[in-house]
């Protein structure tokens, strides 16, 4: 399903047309909600943040440059808003056991439910710029190029943030659960 609004709708929206805004909202609301929910993992907070994002989009509608992908602009606003929220709230809960096994789908069965809280604690310790890059790469499965475009940084910065984020995440996780459990889990994932 194509969620990219047509250019004439975007132009009408930029002029303040409420029907055009409703059309854009109807097209993209699910997209924005899913972005935010994957970062926040709280339905009520996601609803509130999604509403806030559309207020922000409306207020900044003239900043958007027609010709650029609208959904890229929207994605950037949504992720930045969610990052700001998470920085203020400092309650970032998400399940990321596959990070420690480099996307090996066979290993998720070896990570039990009790491992989730230490992962969440480890995630909270990451710098926000590392956290978002790790999420976009390992959860959203975006390419390095797509992440660079979304965050308006170069690819080298994205690679560096992902590598540093993964290393810090693993180090924090090891402190939470112990080196032995990590080695045991890796042994089964090979």
Cα 131 to Cα 61, 94, 190, distances in angstroms: 28, 11, 26
Which two structure tokens, joined as six digits, stand for 82? Answer: 């969610």
- Check residue 149 and give its pLDDT: 86
CATH code assigned at 44: 1.10.1740.10
In a domain, 115, yes or no: yes
Q: Residue 52 pLDDT more than 60? A: yes
Confidence of residue 17 (pLDDT cuts 50, 70, 90): very high
pLDDT tens for 66-106 read 889 999 999 999 998 988 887 776 533 344 444 444 444 44
Could you give the number of structural domains in the chain?
2
Rounded-to-integer distance, Cα 171 and Cα 155, Å: 24
Structure pTM? Answer: 0.52
pLDDT tens for 115-132 read 456 767 777 788 888 888
**Block residue for tokens 């806030």:** 52
- Check residue 180 and give its pLDDT: 52
**Block residue for tokens 């004439």:** 8
Average pLDDT value for residue range 51-77: 93
Domain identity same for 70 and 112 = no
Confidence of residue 150 (pLDDT cuts 50, 70, 90): confident
In a domain, 2, yes or no: no
Rounded-to-integer distance, Cα 184 and Cα 131, Å: 25
């Amino acid at each position: 399903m194509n969620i990219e609004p047509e250019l004439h709708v975007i132009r009408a929206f930029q002029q303040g047309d409420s029907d055009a805004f409703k059309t854009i909202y109807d097209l993209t609301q699910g997209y924005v909600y899913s972005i935010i929910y994957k970062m926040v993992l709280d339905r009520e907070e996601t609803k509130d943040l999604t509403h806030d994002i559309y207020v922000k989009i409306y207020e900044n509608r003239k900043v958007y440059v027609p010709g650029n992908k609208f959904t890229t602009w929207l994605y950037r606003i949504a992720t930045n808003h969610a990052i700001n929220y998470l920085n203020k709230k400092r309650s970032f809960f998400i399940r990321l056991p596959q990070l420690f096994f480099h996307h090996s789908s066979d290993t998720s069965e070896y990570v039990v439910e009790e491992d989730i809280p230490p992962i969440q604690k480890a995630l909270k310790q990451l710098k926000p710029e590392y956290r978002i890059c790790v999420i976009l790469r390992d959860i959203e499965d975006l390419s390095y190029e797509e992440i660079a475009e979304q965050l308006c940084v170069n690819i080298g910065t994205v690679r560096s943030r992902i590598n540093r984020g993964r290393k810090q995440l693993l180090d924090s996780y090891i402190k939470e659960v112990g080196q032995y459990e990590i080695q045991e889990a890796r042994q089964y994932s090979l």
